[in-house]
Amino acid sequence: MIDGKEYGIVDAWFDGTNVHLMSHDTFPDNIKGKPVYQEIDWDVRYGHMKFRTALRIVSAIAFRDLRATTRINQTYDTEAWIDIESDALDDSFVKALEAECNEIISKGGLKTEYVWKSREEFIADQELMSQVRNRPPEGEKIRLVRIGDLPEQVEYGTVVRSTDELKSIRFKTSLVKGGKLNKRLTLYVE
Amino acid sequence: MQETKLLYLDDAYSTKCEGKVIFNEFTDLVVDQTVFFPPPATGSPMTGGARL
């Protein structure tokens, strides 16, 4: 046991049951049951939370207006992207989408709220089932996020408490023509 | 193995916590509860520290 020694965590991943905290350093043997003080890098976490909130606003509007599904998305420290799965997505919609995102933000005051639904409730909700293409997430309880009156969406990540914590959403790229990436939006937040 | 409690599900703004080791091997540490966010659809590491 190396009492008081700090280990930098360079990655964290979830295997479905446990979170694995990965370090560059090797942890000592025989530490099972020992207490571990943990502290995250708040600036990194908060940046991801803002991106995640932006993605949920984008995907909620895309679903509301186009019935688009958005199964694949990713956040980084400095940007995020999301794939909008709809043949109806075009440049004019993307421009309107960006404008509405910023209108929502500039109005301010929209609270985000997590809602848990049972698997039965989720399956009985046609709107939610449409979002996930009739493939509900695993688990008996399913976590959703609600942002104002936008459609509720499955969300197991972290979002900010209010749209007041965002200043703007800017689309870096809209439609990249050709290939599988032709519906991908890459965005920045402030 | 006991599940890791995901504290961020209840409070995304929590930055610190104390847990207990339930498994470790080389550079891999599993604790009974954590504030670390394991992004399910992201590959970006969530840097921070753990102190034994």
Spatial neighbors of A33 by CB under 8 A, at least 6 apart, are B20, B21
Is residue B50's pLDDT more than 90?
Answer: no
Instruction: Name the strand (E) or helix (H) holding A45.
Output: helix A42-66
Dihedral (CA of A87, A75, A54, A124) sign: positive
Nearest-by-CA chain B residue for A45? B46
Domain A43-189: give its CATH superfamily: Threonyl-trna Synthetase; Chain A, domain 2 (3.30.980.10)
Q: Is residue A19 a contact partner of residue B19, using CB atoms and an 8 Å limit?
A: no
Task: Report, as an integer, the average pLDDT of A77-89.
Answer: 89
Per-residue confidence at A62, pLDDT binned at 50, 70, 90? very high
Contact A158 B29 (CB under 8 A): no
Q: What is the DSSP letter of A151?
A: P
Every domain of chain A and the residues it spans: 9-41, 43-189
Highest averaged pLDDT of the listed ranges A71-80, A87-96, A128-137 = A128-137
Tell me whether residues B49 and A159 touch, CB distance under 8 A: no
The distance of Cα A158 from the centroid of its chain, to the nearest Å, equals: 7
pLDDT of residue A181: 53
Q: In this model, does residue B39 exceed pLDDT 70?
A: no
* Chain A residues within 8 A of B27 when measuring between CB atoms: 22-27
CB contact (8 A) between residue A45 and residue B37: yes
